[in-house]
């Protein structure tokens, strides 16, 4: 027993010792040193400003130590929210920083070129002319709050008279417009413009902004005691019972489940998986990118009891550089669905070896997901 205890203590000490100390060597010329700097990343689910991950400051130098949780660490720095995230000198977003653990004690020195100042209107828009704001403050009665909704319409929408399938997407700030993004955009509008020209495929996209500090709670149907209470069930009820009926009323949509898709990444992947399993009569297709199943382990038992639909098409993708648990959890979920006799013809999963937990990765996978879900080839 004593020998076993010594082994456990040793392994625990090794886990504690495995960490990286990140030191900020350079800050923007006019940085306000009275402001706190936070690190946000996959290790704390991209909160944007968790108080537990505020950097310490000594003589105007900031640093923090992060224990090893997976082989790679994806992160960015903020001044407390995504409205004030680090960026390029010209204000353009930067890709997520990635650090690969090699030693038990690592030191990483970084430079921050500039901070977004929260005034996104000064940045040039990259959204296509097909994108417009459906509502600046659309009411979410299920949650007692409002949210910005943006819509992409096919180029031929005004002249065709046709009805179109609809794709609902989370994290709307990152879907169409680099000027509104805090970590790069998916270029959904540009990709769909291309698919329209090449394949004659046209679809309406409804992008729902995330709720900043409410993002974690809204994107999980199950509470996590370390992060937030659950509001995910109410959020999806909002899409099903409030937003979708309004979209179907205003636009020429194909309302059947086989023509309605939902898509998201990270926590957005978790809630998209839930939505399609919970409401197969509403969402006949789902694209689940880098799902945060780790955040809510209840998602596995939920899938075991609810993955009974024979018609829903489910597309899963994860990057090999996102951390070993991300790949493991996705494969575990796929295994559960296959064991429940979910039709394999309606189930697609892919691991991209060099894929990271970032908009740049998800952007490159968007077209492939659309191609498979809507059988364009």
Query: Residue 353 belongs to a domain with what CATH number?
Result: 3.40.50.1820
Domain assignment present for 85: yes
- Look up the domain containing 173 and give its range: 124-373
> Last residue of some domain: 115, 136, 151?
115
> CA torsion sign, 291 to 265 to 146 to 284?
negative
Q: Which pLDDT value is given to residue 12?
A: 43
Domain count, the chain: 2
Domain identity same for 86 and 133: no
Measure the CA–CA gap between 182 and 95, rounded to whole angstroms: 9
Measure the CA–CA gap between 193 and 199, rounded to whole angstroms: 10
Domain identity same for 24 and 133: no
Domain assignment present for 72: yes
Domain assignment present for 169: yes
Domain identity same for 89 and 158: no
Which residues are CB-contacts of 94 (< 8 A; sequence separation ≥ 6)?
76, 86, 87, 88, 113, 183
Q: Which pLDDT value is given to residue 314?
A: 98
* Pair type for strands 204-208 and 166-169: parallel
Domain identity same for 102 and 140: no
Domain identity same for 85 and 174: no
Which residues are CB-contacts of 19 (< 8 A; sequence separation ≥ 6)?
65, 66, 67, 68, 104, 105, 106
> Last residue of some domain: 57, 89, 115?
115
Domain assignment present for 7: no
Residue 101: closest CA among 256, 321, 299, 261: 321
Q: What is the pTM of this model?
A: 0.83
Could you list the beta-strand ranges (E) of 245-311: 260-265, 285-289
Domain identity same for 100 and 208: no
Domain assignment present for 9: no
Q: What is the phi/psi pair of residue 93, to 5°? A: -65, 155
Average pLDDT per consecutive 10 residues, the chain (377 residues; last block may be shorter): 42 59 94 94 82 94 88 87 86 80 88 79 80 97 97 95 97 91 88 96 97 90 89 98 98 98 96 98 98 94 94 96 86 96 95 90 96 89
> Last residue of some domain: 74, 89, 115?
115
Which residues are CB-contacts of 339 (< 8 A; sequence separation ≥ 6)?
none
* Cβ(282)–Cβ(311) below 8 Å: no
Domain assignment present for 264: yes
* Cβ(318)–Cβ(330) below 8 Å: yes
């Amino acid at each position: 027993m004593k020998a076993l205890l010594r082994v456990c203590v040793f392994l625990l000490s090794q886990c504690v010792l495995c960490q990286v100390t990140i030191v900020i060597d350079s800050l923007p010329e006019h940085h306000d040193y009275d402001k706190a700097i936070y690190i946000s990343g996959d290790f704390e689910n991209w909160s944007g400003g968790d108080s537990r991950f505020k950097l310490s400051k000594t003589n105007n130098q900031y640093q923090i130590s992060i224990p090893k949780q997976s082989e790679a660490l994806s992160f960015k720095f903020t001044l407390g929210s995504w409205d004030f995230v680090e960026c390029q000198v010209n204000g353009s977003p930067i890709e997520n920083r990635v650090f690969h653990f090699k030693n038990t004690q690592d030191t990483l020195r970084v430079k921050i070129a500039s901070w977004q100042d929260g005034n996104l209107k000064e940045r040039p828009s990259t959204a296509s002319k097909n994108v417009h704001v459906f509502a600046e403050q659309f009411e979410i009665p299920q949650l007692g709050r409002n949210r910005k909704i943006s819509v992409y319409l096919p180029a031929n929408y005004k002249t065709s008279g046709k009805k179109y399938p609809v794709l609902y997407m989370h994290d709307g700030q990152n879907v169409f417009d680099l000027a509104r993004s805090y970590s790069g955009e998916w270029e959904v509008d540009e990709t769909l413009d291309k698919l329209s020209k090449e394949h004659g495929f046209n679809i309406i996209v409804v992008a729902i902004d995330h709720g900043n500090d409410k993002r974690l709670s809204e994107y999980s149907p199950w509470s996590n005691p370390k992060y937030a209470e659950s509001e995910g069930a109410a959020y999806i009820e909002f899409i099903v019972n409030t937003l979708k009926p309004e979209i179907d009323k205003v636009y020429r949509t194909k309302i059947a489940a086989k023509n309605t898709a939902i898509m998201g990444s990270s926590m957005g992947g978790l809630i998209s998986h839930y939505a399609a399993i919970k409401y197969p009569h509403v969402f006949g297709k789902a694209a689940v990118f880098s799902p945060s199943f780790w955040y809510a382990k209840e998602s596995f038992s939920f899938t075991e009891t609810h993955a009974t639909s024979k018609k829903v098409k489910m597309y899963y993708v994860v990057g090999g550089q996102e951390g070993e648990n991300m790949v493991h959890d996705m494969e575990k979920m796929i295994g559960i669905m296959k064991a429940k006799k979910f039709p394999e013809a309606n189930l697609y999963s892919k691991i991209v070896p060099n894929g990271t937990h970032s908009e740049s990765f998800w952007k490159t996978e968007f077209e492939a997901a659309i191609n498979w879900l809507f059988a364009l080839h």
